[in-house]
Structure 1
Amino acid sequence: MKVYKIAVIPGDGIGKEVVPAAIEVLDRVAELDGNFQFEWTYFPWGCDYYLEHGEMMPIDGIETLKQYDQIFLGAVGMPELVPDHISLWGLLIKIRREMKQSINVRPAKLLAGLESPLKNPRNFDITVVRENSEGEYSDSGGRIHQGADEIAIQNAIFTRKGTERAMRYAFELAKNSRGSVTSATKSNGLTYSMPFWDEIFEEVRKDYPEITTSVNHIDALAAFFVMKPHEFDVIVASNLFGDILTDLGGAIMGSIGIAPAANLNIEGEYPSMFEPVHGSAPDIAGKGIANPIGQIWTGKMMLDFIGQQKAGTQVLTAIEKTLASGIKTGDIGGTSTLGEVKESILSYL
């Protein structure tokens, strides 16, 4: 039997509630399959850890995580006590960067039983591949002078290697999807980075003649997410553009609270990290009303990544059957508790 060693970081707020619920679902689907199982190791890192130790994770935390197959993260953030730039750069982004998790993947799908705010969503099913290690979020720049002469410079850094890696991953995904890749660009406004991006996309697409391609400026693409999301399959985008599109994707699904994400080290050199898009939601933490679907769907993405696609499909089917039966938390128009949603998903499995 295959055993997967998973490092678990529940983190802050509702992460401490939704992570155990998702793990229960993943253990159940593994038990039903009978050919694999999980070995979970919990790490109490996050803002509570920072308040006690002055750091979000131990100095040897990255070396510790390298010993595991994958990382399962809940939520990070306690802004009333720990500034976001400390909590994010001290844990989430630190893991992404030092584990070389250069690809971020986020789906946006009209789930059965969930009402989209769009008038006619037409069963959209989009996967956004976001370059996750450089681009507009590169830690390069600075500030000089003071007062009226103060200057802030933020450098966007695009490498051929990083850009091409994200694009090729998107094309490979499209092979097993509907065979279409859209590139998000803004080469009519950003005179160096986006023409560079467009040139590499043109080169890469020639290696995939069976895949249909298109190129959209990011402002128009954001509008198309609202007007005709059903026309898109796989979208490849830079760090900033992908970040914006995926939050919009969560919104057109009906709630960003159900959206999953994967930070992938596709070379297999380090573990990948799986986390829901939602934050720590401290206002509802501890009340038992948080929506566990984002974390459970994130677990489905981890199942797919480790090669257990059958189990992953079963988890998503159980989620959709639960929603279709009317068992929903308050953020998506229901009255059910976290526990009731979890138990329903387990029963459908």
Structure 2
Amino acid sequence: MSIAVLAGDGIGKEVVPAAIACVDAALARHGSRVDWVDYDWGSDLYLKTGRMMPVDGIETLARHEAIFLGAVGLPEIPDTETLWGLLIPIRREFRQYINLRPIRALDGVPSPVAGGDDIDVVLVRENNEGEYSEIGGRSYRGRPEEEAIQVNVFTRHGIERVARYAVGLAESRGGRLTSATKSNGIIHTMPFWDEVVAEAAAAAPGVALESILIDALAARLVLDPGRFDVIVASNLFGDILSDLAGAIAGSIGVAPSANLNPERQFPSLFEPVHGSAPDIAGRGVANPIGAIWTGALMLDHLGHTAAADDLTTAFRAVTKAGVRTADLGGTATTDQVSAAIVAELAR
């Protein structure tokens, strides 16, 4: 089984090796292994060639069972170049229309909000359309009448497939599904979103659906995080809510994500949510838990469920024991956290 590794930029180059060591240790417990194939794509390549990945990058990645990404982005390169030159094309070419982001409080990691220690949410974000559309443009640049037009794209097909996935996930958990909307202010796309999500939920009698306006939902997530189970949201709303939920759990540094092609026609991509964090890059203090948890999601997707469970149990035991990086109130380095998890897996 072959995994393409794109460490990328910033702390990605630090947390990816740490995560790989932990994934390998979890697999070794079950007599399994994977082949890691490194590609030095990202901002460094862009500065040399003007491209984030080679022209045949998609074809190259298609030969692997999964893609493990660290982070993308440097301050000196516009995000429109780094994201649209690497991450977003991969998501779309491989039809990774589900962005799965579990957020769960970790033992020993205090939440900055009351009730945050009870958070256990899975956020299902639509990943291929919505607000992150390519349709639009700018005109009259540099003039007083300069304008920018961004067209949101919501299709029945796109909403149905993410809604059905979220409904199925809710059925397997507590039966509670929350849909993020803004149908009181966004007059066309959000009522359409509500209708299609409601239709999908109606086909599952065991799932209780609640649609909540995005501003109220953000407030409730802070004030009562324990009430939520599965949240389904559009591309933009899901992006924002998952970062907020990660902070509620203690740090965005622990937040994992999976960009899934559920039909498995194409490789799925796995990445921590935290980004490249250039302000702490190169100091050895980045939190590897987000990348390690992402590795567990990848193992589960690839059928190594027992190894994934072992890895999750191990990093939770390590945070409970107090081995934590500075963002979680500890003093451990990236490598020390990784080493502690590997040692836990060896027991």
Which interval holds the TM-score relative to the shorter structure? over 0.9
Q: How many residues align?
A: 344
Cα-to-partner distance string for 1:162-213 (whole Å, 9 max, x where unaligned): 1000001111112221121111111111110011011111211121111122
Please, what TM-score do these two structures have when normalized by structure 1?
0.96
The 5 Å alignment of 1:98-109 reads 98-109=93-104
- List alignment gaps of at least 5 residues for structure 1: none
SS state at 1:260 partner? coil
> Paired residue for 2:131, among 112, 128, 136?
136
Offset of residue 301 of structure 1: 0.9
Q: Contact conserved, 2:257 with 2:273, CA < 8 A, in 1?
A: yes
Moved over 3 A (4+): none
156-165 or 311-320, larger mean C-alpha shift: 311-320
RMSD between aligned residues: 1.2
Alpha-carbon distance, 1:122 to partner: 4.7
Instruction: Specify the alignment match of 1:326 in structure 2.
Output: 322
Question: In structure 2, how many angstroms separate the alpha carbons of the residues matched to 1:144 and 1:347?
Answer: 58
Give me the whole-angstrom Cα distance separating, in 1, the residues matched to 2:67 and 2:258. 10
Report the TM-score, using the length of structure 2 for normalisation: 0.96
The answer to whether the 8 Å contact 2:114/2:223 transfers is no
1:123 alignment partner in structure 2: 118
Contact 2:110–2:117 at 8 Å: present in 1 too? no
In structure 2, the residue matched to 1:154 is 150
What is the match of residue 20 of structure 2?
Answer: 23
- Which whole-Å CA distance do the structure 2 matches of 1:122 and 1:53 have between them? 46
Identity %: 55
Q: Secondary structure at the match of 2:177?
A: strand
Alignment correspondent of 1:299: 295
Kindly state the Cα deviation for residue 319 of structure 1 after the two structures are TM-superposed.
Answer: 1.0
Amino acid at match of 1:205: A
Q: Which runs of 5+ in 2 are unaligned?
A: none
* Per-residue deviation, residues 9-54 of structure 1 (Å, max 9, x unmatched): 01111111111111111111111012x3211100000111111222
For residue 182 of structure 2, the aligned residue among 180, 186, 193 is 186
Matched with 1:58 is: 54
Instruction: State the 1:237 CA deviation.
Output: 0.4
Corresponding residue of 1:172: 168
1:269 equivalent to 2:265? Answer yes
Q: Residue by residue, what CA displacement relative to the aligned partner does 1:211-246 show, whole Å, maximum 9, x if unpaired?
A: 122111111100111111111111100011101100
1:286 Cα deviation after fit = 2.2
Give the SS at the match of 1:263. strand
2:117·2:249 contact (CA, 8 Å) conserved in 1? no
**Secondary structure in structure 1 of the residue aligned to 2:102:** strand
Which amino acid is 1:92 matched to? Answer: L
Amino acid across the alignment from 1:33: H
Q: Does 1:288 align with 2:320?
A: no
